[in-house]
Amino acid sequence: MPSKREPRVAVVATRVALWAGALFAFWWALAAPLLRDAEGALTTTALLPIAVAASLSVVAATWAGQYKKAGLWVAVGLLGQAVALQFVRAGTNVAYQHLGSSPPLPELRGPLLGWLAVQTALVLSALYHRWTGIGRWVTRHFRVWQVLVIGALFVLSSATLSRSVLAYGGELLFATFLQTLNLATIIVAVWAIPESALSSGGMARLCRLGLDSESATVERLRTDRFAILAAAWTLALSLTLAIVSYERHPHIPDEVGYLIQAGYFAKGMLWLPLPPVPEAVSVEMLFFGADKVYSILPPGWPAALTLGVLIGAPWIINPLFAALNVLMVYLLLQELYDRRLARLGVLLLVCSPWSIFLAMSFMTHTFTLTCALVAALGIVATRRSGRAVWACLAGGAIGVTSLVRPLDALVVAGLMGLWSLGLGGKRLSFRAIFGMVAVAITVGLGNLPYNRLLTGEATTFPIMQYFTAYYGPKANALGFGPERGFGWTGLDPFPGHGLIDVLVNSNLNLFATNIELLGWSCGSLLLAFLAVFSMRMRQSDRVLVASGLAVIGIHTLYWFSGGPDFGARYWYLILVPCIGLTARGAMILADLLSAQSSHNRVTLGILSLCFLAIVTFVPWRAIDKYHHYRGMRPDIRSLARETDFGRSLVLIQGAKWPDYHSAAAYNPPDWNANQPLYVWDRDPEVRDSILRRYPDRQIWVVAGPSVTGGPFRLLRGPIPASDLR
């Protein structure tokens, strides 16, 4: 006879089947040879079964409950973002990503376009009876100019420029369509949650991010379990990516220079002695003088990286600073707003691919943000306590920033100076301001003796000396003129620096920020645009907007956009303003919605978008771009461990970049150390010179990736130097 147990049995059976399907899809993604490259590494096509596994898991978890329809829509959105990413051309080359017409496996083009058609039909069907209400809501709360400006920015940030106007127009339409489709999918998902479910105790607390309503106000800035867990997540995720995707190996010329510089700093040296054969150890970002060799990069970040070099793990330093940044952003947003918005901002930050991937790297930007946040919190602490010592700490952080990224330091110094004078907050005492300025100048002046020791002139920075010598007197200078630039036609389309360069660079960086900031399928900047142009800004919002514009404005004076490495990395200090304004945009949107549960719906929408980004965008970016980015590989490290090169000479055959640079990062600071010395087998003359200088060393010959088409490969060795001469 029929019983109430039959539906329950059916639910259990369905959930078991869904979980089984999810496990199978995940297993297949990891096991199928079709989804791996020639070396056995996962390809981006593996993201599709991974997304299927995640989608089935979401449906299984929400099946037969109040969240069943919402779960189905989240699954649709998850698959939609995974499918959209298959059409993106990014890859390991130095180029901005673009949308293509075919996925990596061309035979999947039809099924993937079919899915987009199905998703579009489902979304249009779900919104069919809501179009009139949406239109009325928009016209009630926004003026025409606001809709046009926000819409234009939404469209223009969805794709970046191409040399062909026709190609750019087509890509812009396709990218806008994908963003709109995925935004609509999440809106439908949030609408599908019943009102009764949103008001339940557990869900309401989740949507308040664990806060009781009265605990949102801030009397004393503090971290708590939420912030500590968020910092721990950031540390764990960035460390995982540093090991698995980045392979604890530098991939950008700057990173090689930083590691070499940190290596000789760790030995108590400010430069390297001139090598016996400079042509055999030539590396980008190193200047070979008459009697010494030194990195052209500022000393602040390599000095911090030295701590990691001393323990044999320089790759852990940036993840540690990233975790510290999470805690400091939490405190700063509490000061500017309240604890609830601070938690929402931290949630966005810990899911930010821009933050996570830079934390994975050996680049300076995470540490620069640390210094800026210390400076800001030093002013906050001074304002709250009246103690000038905190202002001195802020000044020290500003000074350290000048030792890391001088141009960013100029922005930080200006913003902190205006803030301490009372613009956007309470004015500090004269004693506190004087202490901050004095300490900042004192620390910043450390650049002068360092410059003098290296270049002979206190006001001549090594980086300017280098670029003047190789590219011309004003090639790397700020400002405008035809002599700016290095002639990088692929990344700097117009010679010199003028208004058109400012517009192009701004487009490139706006697009990169929209992609990398949050990795959202609907674009990362929509809520920030809403916060800025809704005409509902508060004083704290204006502080964030001014901070972001200051960073962007100062970089318009430089000819280069920063390139596609790690998003709009020259604009990285806008990360916190963008995070704060996105959280504010979410609050404004919730206030504009009439339903009592609108705050909960908006929060769930953000949680869904962050979940989609972590499941799809982060692994896709880690696989598609940063694994062996720019052709850099750590295989020489494995060869050294397996073969035990010992006190030898290792000749690297192949191109200077990436072959020799991949090996040069592991050279000792002492050219006569009892360790392997990696040299570039540049030509017969250089080989002969280096063999004559080291006649007592055993020789190994290794072919680099540009020669093998894959990993480094040992060709010969060990053999005496005389055999090769």
DSSP letter for each residue of 296-311: -S-SHHHHHHHHHHHT
First to last CA, the chain: 93
Give the 3-state secondary structure of residue 678: strand
By CB atoms closer than 10 A (0-12, 13-18, 19+), residue 470 is: exposed
Cα–Cα–Cα angle for 404, 408, 409, nearest 5°? 70
Given the structure tokens 């930080």, which residue do they identify?
412
Q: Is residue 105 part of a domain?
A: yes
Decide the pairing of beta strands 292-295 and 677-680.
Answer: unpaired
What local confidence, expressed as pLDDT, does residue 95 receive? 87
Q: Which two tokens stand for residue 285?
A: 């970002």
To which H or E segment does residue 327 belong? helix 317-336
Which of 150, 176, 198 is a domain's end point?
198
Give the 3-state secondary structure of residue 699: strand
CA 202 from centre of chain: 33
pLDDT reading at 204 higher than 90:
no
**Distance separating alpha carbons of residues 41 and 454, to the nearest angstrom:** 43
Beta bridge partners of 272: 293
Q: What domain count does the chain have? A: 2
Q: Which two tokens stand for residue 199?
A: 């008001």
Per-residue burial over 347-363, b if 16 or more Cβ lie within 10 Å, else e, is bbbbbbbbbbbbbbbbb
Q: Which two tokens stand for residue 47?
A: 């993201």
pLDDT tens-digit readout, 668-722:
999 999 999 999 999 999 999 999 999 989 999 999 999 999 999 999 989 988 8
pLDDT tens-digit readout, 607-650:
999 999 999 999 999 999 999 999 999 999 999 999 989 899 99
pLDDT tens-digit readout, 329-363:
999 999 999 999 999 999 999 999 999 999 999 99
Q: Which two tokens stand for residue 221?
A: 């800035």
**Distance separating alpha carbons of residues 368 and 113, to the nearest angstrom:** 43
Per-residue burial over 257-284, b if 16 or more Cβ lie within 10 Å, else e, is bbbbbbbbbbeeeebbeebebeebbbbb
Q: Is residue 361 part of a domain?
A: no
Which of 176, 198, 220 is a domain's end point?
198
| CA-to-CA separations, 677 to 269, 360, 503, 704, in angstroms, rounded | 19, 27, 46, 16
Q: What is the amino acid identity at position 438?
A: A
Q: Which two tokens stand for residue 414?
A: 């200006």
List of long-range contacts for 533-538, beta carbons under 8 Å, 24+ apart: 533/146, 533/149, 533/150, 534/142, 534/146, 534/585, 534/588, 534/592, 535/146, 536/588, 536/591, 538/584
- Contact, 333 vs 376, CB < 8 A? no
pLDDT reading at 724 higher than 80:
no
**Distance separating alpha carbons of residues 157 and 509, to the nearest angstrom:** 9
Which of 165, 198, 231 is a domain's end point?
198
3-state helix, strand, coil in the chain (%, to 5): 65, 5, 30
Q: Is residue 63 part of a domain?
A: yes
| CA-to-CA separations, 62 to 28, 71, 614, in angstroms, rounded | 24, 6, 19
Q: Is residue 468 part of a domain?
A: no
Q: Whose CA is closest to 315, among 305, 304, 327, 324? A: 305
Given the structure tokens 């919104």, which residue do they identify?
127
**Peptide bond before 462: cis, by omega within 30 degrees of 0?**
no
Provide, rounded to the nearest whole percent, the portion of the chain with pLDDT above 70. Answer: 98
Averaged confidence pLDDT in the chain: 92
Task: List strand residue ranges (DSSP E) for 286-404, in order.
Answer: 286-288, 292-295
- Contact, 77 vs 189, CB < 8 A? yes
pLDDT reading at 6 higher than 70:
no
- Contact, 712 vs 719, CB < 8 A? no
Other C-beta atoms lying within 10 Å of the C-beta of residue 202:
8
Q: Which two tokens stand for residue 277?
A: 């054969």
What local confidence, expressed as pLDDT, does residue 212 receive? 58
- Contact, 516 vs 525, CB < 8 A? no
Print the domain residue range for 685.
631-724
Q: Which two tokens stand for residue 423?
A: 């613009």
Radius of gyration of the chain (CA): 27
> What is the arithmetic mean of pLDDT over 90-111?
89
What local confidence, expressed as pLDDT, does residue 4 receive? 46
**Distance separating alpha carbons of residues 261 and 403, to the nearest angstrom:** 14
- Contact, 703 vs 712, CB < 8 A? yes
Q: Is residue 711 part of a domain?
A: yes
Q: Is residue 12 part of a domain?
A: yes
pLDDT tens-digit readout, 216-275:
667 788 899 999 999 999 999 999 999 999 999 999 999 999 999 999 999 999 999 999
Q: Whose CA is closest to 179, among 446, 488, 522? A: 522
Q: Whose CA is closest to 351, among 518, 512, 528? A: 518
**Distance separating alpha carbons of residues 136 and 131, to the nearest angstrom:** 9
CA 188 from centre of chain: 30
Q: Is residue 713 part of a domain?
A: yes
Q: Which two tokens stand for residue 197?
A: 């479910």
Q: Is residue 348 part of a domain?
A: no
Residue 287 is given by DSSP the state E
- Prediction pTM value: 0.94
**Distance separating alpha carbons of residues 230 and 209, to the nearest angstrom:** 12
Beta bridge partners of 273: 292
Q: Which two tokens stand for residue 559?
A: 């000819």
Best-predicted range by mean pLDDT (363-372, 598-607, 664-673):
363-372
